A and B are shown apart, each in its own frame.
Chain A
Amino acid sequence: MTSKDPKSICLAYLEAFGKKDFGKLEQLLAPELQFKGPATARSGAQSHIGVLKRLGSVLLRNEVKRVFVDGSEVCVIYDFVTDTPMGAAPIVEWLRVEDGRIQSVWLLFDRQPWPAVMEEVSRRTGPAPELHSRSTPG
Chain B
Amino acid sequence: MMARETDSTLAVVRAYDGGWTSQNFDQAVRLLAADLKVEVPINDYPTAESFARALVGFGGLVKTVTLLAEFAKGNEAMLLYDMEVDRLGKLRIAEHFTVADGRIVRIRQIHDTASLGDAGFA
A51 at the interface (CB under 8 A from B): no
B94 at the interface (CB under 8 A from A): yes
Stretch at the interface among B22-30, B44-52, B67-75: B67-75
Mask for B65-94, Cβ within 8 A of A = 1, else 0?
Answer: 000111111001110100000000000111
Given A92-B80, A108-B92, does the pair A68, B71 have CB atoms closer than 8 Å?
A: yes
CA gap between A38 and B110 in the complex, in Å: 11
B41 at the interface (CB under 8 A from A): yes
A94 at the interface (CB under 8 A from B): yes
CA gap between A70 and B112 in the complex, in Å: 25
| Contact call A108/B72, Cβ cutoff below 8 A | no
B14 at the interface (CB under 8 A from A): no
Can you name the residue of chain A whose Cβ is closest to the Cβ of B77?
A68
| Contact call A112/B110, Cβ cutoff below 8 A | no
A75 at the interface (CB under 8 A from B): yes
Q: Nearest chain A CB to B82's CB is how many angstroms away?
A: 11
Given A38-B112, A68-B72, does the pair A75, B78 have CB atoms closer than 8 Å?
A: yes
A-B pairs with beta carbons under 8 Å apart, 23 shown:
A38-B114, A66-B76, A68-B71, A68-B76, A70-B70, A73-B69, A75-B78, A75-B80, A77-B94, A91-B110, A92-B78, A94-B69, A106-B80, A108-B80, A108-B112, A109-B112, A110-B41, A110-B114, A111-B114, A112-B112, A112-B113, A112-B114, A112-B117
Can you name the residue of chain B whose Cβ is closest to the Cβ of A138?
B112
Q: Which of B69, B92, B113, B117 contacts A75 (CB under 8 A)?
A: B69
B4 at the interface (CB under 8 A from A): no
| Contact call A110/B71, Cβ cutoff below 8 A | no
Instruction: Determine the main DSSP class of A at the interface with B.
Output: strand
Q: Nearest chain B CB to A84's CB is how many angstroms away?
A: 18
| Contact call A94/B80, Cβ cutoff below 8 A | yes
CA gap between A106 and B78 in the complex, in Å: 14
Q: Nearest chain B CB to A111's CB is how many angstroms away?
A: 5
**Residues of A contacting B80 with CB < 8 Å?**
75, 92, 94, 106, 108
Task: List 15 other contacts, CB 8 Å, given A39-B112, A108-B93.
Answer: A66-B96, A68-B76, A70-B71, A73-B71, A75-B78, A90-B110, A91-B110, A92-B78, A92-B94, A106-B68, A108-B80, A108-B94, A110-B111, A110-B112, A110-B113
A116 at the interface (CB under 8 A from B): no
